[in-house]
Structure 1
Amino acid sequence: MRLRLLSACLILSVAMPVLHAQDLAGTCHAGSSYDLTVKPGSLMFDRPQPAPFHVQIADGALRTDGQPVRLNAEAQDRLVLFERDLRALLPRVRAVADAGVDLAVRAVHEEAAGMHLAPATLAELDRRLASHAGELRQRIAQSNSTHDWQGDAAQQLADRIVGDLAPLVAGDLGQQALAAAMNGDLAEAARLRDEAADLATQLQPRLQRRMQALRPQVQALCPAIRRLADLQQGVRGADGQPLDLVQLGP
């Protein structure tokens, strides 16, 4: 049962910003070895290795690992357009993330309804889902860095949601199984246990199929991602190597 709720809550947490979102990587065949932080006056890219570890773009100016890079007029123009286009892309990515939260909430509600939970349990589940969804939307709106969604931060968020929802659902199913057993309906009690075990393995693919409804919205972002990759061409860092901030796959 914990696995079942974990799968749902991980999907609720799919809201990573541009360049590191798995859907962008899978659908647009685009990615980056850098994390991105969007500041009011600059774009900051950072990665643990290899060098350059830090890349800053600000109004056509470029710094790599703290050192200014001399650029010709064409490279400066490319960076100005790169920054403009990336900033314009962020609200679109947030909109897709918000749509993903809405879709996931509906999916979790419908799956819970299919378990025939008590009306009070289902109402409380919906209340908690709405609360978590509101927090996620606020976090999406305020986040300007892929660091906000990496590693422990994302896992802690998912764990917190799971910790809130799992006991509620598990408790209701346990009560149903207990009531069935006490009424002598051992077959129903066994069915409830089997249902829980089955859902633990079957829910994730069902939710993933539901989330495919987002694919057209993600695909609509791909041309903008490819344009970013094109704009970085011809711009080189202090070491003479291409920036390669956005990587396109086959």
Structure 2
Amino acid sequence: MRPRHLIACLLLSTAQPLLHAQDLAATCHASSSYDLTVKPDSLVFDRPQPAPFQVQLAAGSLRTDGHPVQLDAESQDRLALFERALRALVPRVRAVADAGVDLAARAMHDEAADMHLAPATMDELNRRLAAQAAELRRRIAQSNSTHDWQGDLAQQYANRIAGELVPLVAADLGQQALAAAMSGDLDAAARLRDEATDLATQMQPRLQRRMQALRPQVQALCPSIRRLADLQQGVRDADGRPLDLVQVGG
């Protein structure tokens, strides 16, 4: 089974649906074979295979596949600390995700501004960016499970943003190309037409570079991720298997 990157799970994959930013998961070298759902009274880790398929933590107690696991005092303390540490991490992760939304919107705005688009185009682009950012922040605030971001949802979101913004910018560039051609500047017209045609592929690397500014905020989460991996050490399920909820390497 392909492991899920834990940072990507905790960040609710926000960098990916926005701009295909760098693989933030690799920043802390953390992964998990589980999905995570944060409930008011418990943490639920689940996966399709292998067993255990579901691990539930609640105030130092442990259940695997619906069955309670007898724990010694040290294991209970470790799991209680694990749950507390992970819950404390969630709002920090959301803050980083929100920062990613803002950074992406600013990056898109700056890229468009560098193209000297018409004021009306910039106004419409900023309106759409603000609406998309507000929607994504709302989804981040409401989501408590990595299941909310499974499958190709991230790609669908990226495609939807591109579908709204790229044609708007390309149309403006096309108008600039037409104006240049009518004024006799055929070189400028050709350049603008090429820029409009290749807009999505040309802009993506520049946006990715701008998103690198988010990396220090993600790196600041790494010690807490490593703390989670340390706290699970020594805890075993009813069949004697290590409670391997988090893997940290590198």
Quick check: TM above 0.5? yes
Given that 2:11 and 2:96 are in contact with CA atoms closer than 8 Å, whether structure 1 keeps it comes out as no
Is contact 1:82–1:232 with CA below 8 Å preserved after alignment? yes
Matched, 1:118 2:110: no
2:10 maps to which residue?
18
CA–CA distance in structure 2, aligned partners of residues 126 and 199 of structure 1: 18
Q: Equivalents in 1 of 2:119, 2:11: separation in Å?
A: 42
Q: Equivalent residue for 1:175? A: 175
How far the C-alpha of 1:235 sits from its partner, in A, is 0.8
Rounded Cα–Cα distance in structure 1 between residues aligned with 2:181 and 2:204: 29
Bigger Cα displacement from structure 2, 210-219 vs 123-132: 210-219
CA positional deviation for 1:197: 5.0
| Farther off after superposition, 202-211 or 68-77 | 202-211
Give the number of aligned pairs.
236
- Give a deviation string over 1:12-47, Cα, whole Å, max 9, x none: xxx955177575531111111111000001101111
Q: How far off is 1:117 after superposition?
A: 1.0
Q: Which residue of 1 aligns with 2:33?
A: 33
Q: Under a length normalisation based on structure 2, what TM-score does the superposition of the two structures give?
A: 0.87
For 2:164 and 2:36, the matched residues in 1 are separated by: 31
Aligned to 2:94: 94
Amino acid at match of 1:176: Q
Corresponding residue of 1:164: 164
Unmatched 5+ stretches in structure 2 = 1-6, 14-21
Aligned to 2:46: 46
CA contact (8 A) 1:20 1:31 kept: no
Q: Which amino acid aligns with 2:218?
A: V
SS of alignment partner, residue 36 of structure 1: strand
| Matched letter for residue 229 of structure 2 | A
Amino acid at match of 1:130: A
> SS where residue 55 of structure 1 aligns?
strand
Q: Report the residue type matching 1:118 in the other structure.
A: A
Moved more, 15-24 or 59-68: 15-24
User: Can you give the 5+ residue segments of structure 1 that lack an aligned partner in the other structure?
Assistant: 1-14
Is contact 1:34-1:47 (8 Å) kept? yes
SS in 1 for 2:152: helix
Given that 2:8 and 2:25 are in contact with CA atoms closer than 8 Å, whether structure 1 keeps it comes out as no
| Percent of pairs with identical residues | 79
Post-superposition CA distance 1:63-95 (Å, at most 9, x none): 111121111111111111100000000000011
- Would the aligned equivalents of 2:85 and 2:228 in 1 still touch at CA under 8 Å? yes
RCO greater where, 1 or 2, for CA within 8 Å and sep 6 or more? 1
1:101-131 Cα distance to aligned partner (Å, 9 max, x none):
1111111001011111111001110011011
CA offsets 1:163-216 (integer angstroms, 9 cap, x no match): 222221122122222233344432221010232356544422222221221122
Superimposed CA distance per residue, residues 218-238 of structure 1 (whole angstroms, 9 cap, x where no aligned partner) = 111111101100000111112
